[in-house]
Amino acid sequence: MPVDDRVTARRAEAAAWIARIRSEERTAADERGFQSWLAEDPANREVFKTLMALWDASASPQASAGPNTTHTRLNRRLLLAAAALGTVAIGIGAYIGLESSRGQTLTTARGEQRSLVLADGSRVILDTATRLRLHFSRERRALELLTGQAHFDVAKDPARPFIVTAGDKQVIAVGTAFDVSRELGVTSVMLTEGKIVVRQDGAAHVLDQTLSPGDRLIFQPDTRVRQDRPNIAAATAWQTGQVVFDDVPLSEAVEHMNRYESKPIAIADPAVGSLHISGAYKSGNADAFVKSVSILLPVVATADGTQWVLTKDPRRR
């Protein structure tokens, strides 16, 4: 195939993949196919990064300002069509893409989750009430988790390390998958695939620790550091909209569920909070959760205005 035809075909393939991975109907098979396509040829990744930068630029507040959202969506479709036909300046787009991600902040509201593909091909899943700031450049891929929880599936690029900062902690990766959480003064890092180095500056000494898949580091507000190996399925269930509890106090389960709820759950009696519960629940579905709790435990659930209130059921022990 002539070089020009191959370039045009590659752009068309990249445009098609962007449309598929940004679709709400994206499947696991799409994810696998996309990763295989990226791995086929380094040029695939470069074209994809360029088109993703142009796609994201067209979705920026400046580009989408105004009431005519249909016009905005049409422009993005035309952008992909132009890329497929080879009418987009690839070199300029790549440079703008790297610079435009400096200082960009990705956010989710309470109860919301988002899955995104970054300009380098890395995938990020943002949990509820999360803020993540991007600082990509030609030299490195830096991100700052301001609050909340995120999962990172990192595209390999040995020349540009992928660094996630949460307070004074840094997670350094090349091509791997891991979770970082930063809430209520507690920061945790859990590795699910590959290898990462976790570094902490500002303490009495510098922590520089390499994790293996399944390891989790938990940094407490009092500077204590704890390492464990949680149940991976339970710890990563949030990525599919699930919450899994394994014999935990009801107070802890309620605190976790409330992260997703607009209608929070309150515990009126400390004795109720000390009861233990296990099970899998859909995040953001307080009604189903309190119904299950009232069946499994000696608890009465009452709707009180804008919240659920859990109290001890005197008829059950």
- How far are the Cα atoms of 41, 109, 112, 149, 229 from residue 129, in angstroms, in the given order? 37, 5, 7, 8, 25
Q: State residue 37's pLDDT score.
A: 83
> CATH 3.55.50.30: which residues of the chain?
241-312
Whether the per-residue pLDDT at 94 is higher than 50: the answer is no
- Please write the tens of the pLDDT for every residue from 204-219: 445 678 888 999 999 9
Q: State residue 308's pLDDT score.
A: 93
Helices and strands in the chain, H and E counts: 10, 18
Taking each helix axis from N to C terminus, what angle separates 42-58 and 90-100, rounded to the nearest 10 degrees?
A: 60
Local structure of 188: helix, strand or coil: strand
Q: Which parts of the chain fold into alpha helices (H)?
A: 3-21, 28-40, 42-58, 61-64, 69-84, 90-100, 232-235, 250-257, 270-273, 286-296
> CATH 2.60.120.1440: which residues of the chain?
101-240
What is 101-240's CATH number, 2.60.120.1440, 3.30.70.260, 2.30.40.10, 3.40.50.300?
2.60.120.1440
Q: Architecture of domain 241-312 in CATH? A: 3-Layer(bab) Sandwich (3.55)
Is 0.75 surpassed by the pTM of this model?
no
- Please write the tens of the pLDDT for every residue from 189-198: 999 999 898 9
Model confidence at 91, in pLDDT bands (50, 70, 90)?
very low
Whether the per-residue pLDDT at 163 is higher than 80: the answer is yes
